[in-house]
Structure 1
Amino acid sequence: MIIRNITHSDNLAIKTIIQDALKSRGFDLPGTAYFDPQLADLTSYYAATPNAAYWVLELDGEVIGGVGIAPWQDGICELQKLYLKDSAQGHGYSNLLMKTALAYAATHYETCYLETLKELDVACRLYEKFGFTLLDQPLPGSEHTAMDAWYLLTFK
């Protein structure tokens, strides 16, 4: 198992993992990552964005998940697109991806923000385990209008 930066050859695999995960839970809706315009080419999106990165988790030569960090506002980044194949869930891989993303974020930002759905209770527990605090409302500028849970983690 390795965690590495995304490459162009990973784009389709990650797009499929994200869209399959959302669709299987009935979240293939406008206002979710399912329709993000950069989803087809995450490599170029993250490469072109300063202080941003996306990592994939590869197991036995197969991409099984990923996570990203990108700027939100001054001093604040956003944890983005943490997804695993359904078959890869329950093995601690999300913890490894979170550690990778947050270690990077802590060197570039003061605070990390994320948006999710309350219904994804396993994900919400993961975020809280890593020290994220649930907010009452989204930070200004949110494009994912279908989200109903917003979290913040301060590094400093």
Structure 2
Amino acid sequence: MNIRNIRKGDNGQVAALIRKVLVDLGAPKVGTAYADVTLDSMFENYDRPRAAYFVVEENDKILGCAGVAQLDNCEDNICELQKMYFLEEARGRGIGSKMLQICLEKAREFNFEMVYLETMPYMKAAQKLYEKMGFEYIDEPMGDTGHYSCPVYMLAKL
């Protein structure tokens, strides 16, 4: 297993993975990452200052992904944990924890003060991991992610 920065050639595989996971989990296609205009060009979207996106690769297959970038429409020094998804075969192996640690380290390297995320109510395993890594539930959304179908909001101090 190898966690590395996204490459331009990963775009198709990453977009397909995210869409597959969302469909498998029964998530709405509207108001989630499924409908994001950037989904088919993730490398280009994260090829900017204070942004990074990572993939988990095993035997030349991408099994998961996640990234961090400035929270849109937020003037505070807060980044967002973005598009963290794993295929079923990657779950339960500690990969999510490793990926989250890498994302939080990168956020610290970028000198963000906090990390924000949005998720779905039934994604309990993910929420448990987020809590373990220092995230706390908050009552209101922050910034403008466009993910109005993700009504669970969490925030962690770095």
**Given that residues 19 and 28 in structure 1 are in contact (C-alpha distance below 8 angstroms), is that contact kept between their aligned partners in structure 2?**
no
**Given that residues 113 and 150 in structure 1 are in contact (C-alpha distance below 8 angstroms), is that contact kept between their aligned partners in structure 2?**
yes
1:52 matched residue in structure 2 = 51
2:15 matched residue in structure 1 = 15
1:102 matched residue in structure 2 = 104
Cα offset for 1:86?
1.0
Cα offset for 1:28?
3.6
**Given that residues 11 and 41 in structure 1 are in contact (C-alpha distance below 8 angstroms), is that contact kept between their aligned partners in structure 2?**
yes
2:136 matched residue in structure 1 = 133
Secondary structure of the 2:144 match is coil
Q: Indicate the percent of aligned positions where both proteins have the same amino acid.
A: 36
* Structure 1: 4+ residue segments shifted above 2 A: none
Deviations 1:105-143 (A, max 9, x none): 012200000000111101110100100000011114231
CA–CA distance in structure 2, aligned partners of residues 14 and 8 of structure 1: 10
CA–CA distance in structure 1, aligned partners of residues 28 and 34 of structure 2: 6
The more displaced of 134-143 and 64-73 is 134-143
TM-score (norm 2): 0.94
Mapping of residues 59-70 of structure 1, within 5 Å:
59-70=58-69
Deviations 1:31-61 (A, max 9, x none): 00000000001000000x3200100111122
1:143 matched residue in structure 2 = 146
Gaps of 5+ in 1: none
| Aligned AA (2:86) | L
CA–CA distance in structure 2, aligned partners of residues 140 and 94 of structure 1: 25
CA–CA distance in structure 2, aligned partners of residues 76 and 15 of structure 1: 25
Gaps of 5+ in 2: none
| Aligned AA (1:145) | Y
State yes or no: 1:81 paired with 2:96. no
TM-score (norm 1): 0.95
**Given that residues 54 and 68 in structure 1 are in contact (C-alpha distance below 8 angstroms), is that contact kept between their aligned partners in structure 2?**
yes
Cα offset for 1:29?
2.2
| Aligned AA (1:138) | P
**Given that residues 28 and 149 in structure 2 are in contact (C-alpha distance below 8 angstroms), is that contact kept between their aligned partners in structure 1?**
no
Secondary structure of the 2:126 match is helix
Secondary structure of the 1:131 match is coil
Secondary structure of the 1:37 match is coil
Secondary structure of the 2:93 match is coil
Mapping of residues 111-122 of structure 1, within 5 Å:
111-122=114-125
Cα offset for 1:75?
0.7
Secondary structure of the 1:17 match is helix
Secondary structure of the 1:20 match is helix
2:127 matched residue in structure 1 = 124
CA–CA distance in structure 2, aligned partners of residues 142 and 11 of structure 1: 20
Cα RMSD of the aligned pairs, angstroms, is 1.0
